[in-house]
Amino acid sequence: MVLLPRFHLAEIEDQSWCPSWLREHSHLALAQMWRSNASEKGPPAAQACDLLMENLPDTSSFTFVDACAGAGGPTPVLEARLNEKLLAQGKGPVKFILTDLYPHLSAWEKIVKRSENISYIEEPVDATAAKKLTGPNEKECRIFNLCYHHFDDPLAGKVLRSAVESADAFVIHEMTYRNFSAFMNTSIVILSPFITTMLWFWNSPMHLFFTYLIPLVPLFYAIDGYVSCIRTRTPKEIDDLLLREPGLDLSEWEFKSGERLVLPPFGYLYWYVGVKKTKRTSQALVEHSS
């Protein structure tokens, strides 16, 4: 149950004055979250891969474009997990492409060196007006990992328009939401720096000082975590953005959404998938499932 209306408030990480060392702490936390194995079904990355395979017909035929890759996010984990699952089915590996309006080339170069299935685009790519990166006979799926809530409504609508008009599928993953579970999960995350700072930055006086003496890092997690919850859209709100885009043809598309408990007791992965159908029908099917 949604507890409050959506407000597009500001996150600290979005601000140009946000210190890079603070962003680094957040990026490591997100990567760790995707790898955390707290469920019998595997870590969130593995379960996100299961959802991709369940909702994208012939998953192995797609190339996945991380539309807002930042410093790389969960893409290295998702690539490894998804291709591990496809290999077990006797299928070839899928490719991932990192893109962003502000390319983080130094981080991407390190990622690409560790996986032959990941590449990147050096030039800035605007997710609101992105062109298809795969060939005319190849399928492209744009994936938005914990980032779609950063767009305000006008930009969020353009992101959807771009995906519908130039890609073959898109996937939105969020770990925040405007419900009790998401706020409780965020409250747990706020406490995590008291452990992770010592593990990741034990030799950094700055990180130690601003975690244990002046708790700036936990405060940063609290503000951005709760604001992310308040920013995150319901499936109905995403539907409305699609329908409000003037002249957007949805007749070849199917849409599904749902949620899955990936980090008990409160950590749910909220997902929204759009897939272009192989045969044209008179109108789009909008189906939401849990």
The one-letter amino acid at 92: G
Rounded Cα–Cα distance for residues 233 and 242 (Å): 13
Which segment of 55-59, 170-174, 215-219, 223-227 scores lowest on mean pLDDT?
Answer: 55-59
- Residue 211: the pLDDT is 96
CATH topology of domain 12-276: Rossmann fold (3.40.50)
Instruction: Confirm if 270 and 148 have CB atoms less than 8 A apart.
Output: no
Give 233-256 pLDDT, tens digit per residue.
999 999 999 999 999 999 999 999
pLDDT tens digits for 1-19?
Answer: 999 999 999 999 989 999 9
Domain ranges of the chain: 12-276
Nearest to 48 by CA among 30, 74, 20: 74
**Rounded CA separation 200/29 (Å):** 10
Q: pLDDT tens digits for 157-180?
A: 999 999 999 999 999 999 999 999
Please name every residue paired with 65 in a beta bridge, in sequence order, or none if there are none. 97, 142
Calculate the CA dihedral of residues 15, 192, 204, 211 and round it to 10 degrees. Answer: 70
**The pLDDT of residue 52:** 94
pLDDT at 279: 53
The whole-number pLDDT of residue 284 equals 40
Per-residue pLDDT, averaged over 102-119, amounts to 94
Q: Using CB atoms within 10 Å of the CB of residue 154, give its burial: 0 to 12 exposed, 13 to 18 middle, 19+ buried.
A: exposed
Residue-wise pLDDT for 50-102, tens only, equals 999 999 989 999 999 999 998 888 899 899 999 999 999 999 999 999 999 99
Reported confidence tier of residue 31, pLDDT bands at 50, 70, 90: confident
Q: Which amino acid, one-letter code, is at 164?
A: V
At 283, is the pLDDT very low, low, confident or very high (cuts 50, 70, 90)?
Answer: very low
pLDDT in tens, 146-156: 999 999 999 99
pTM to 2 decimals?
A: 0.92
Is it the case that residue 282 has pLDDT exceeding 60?
A: no
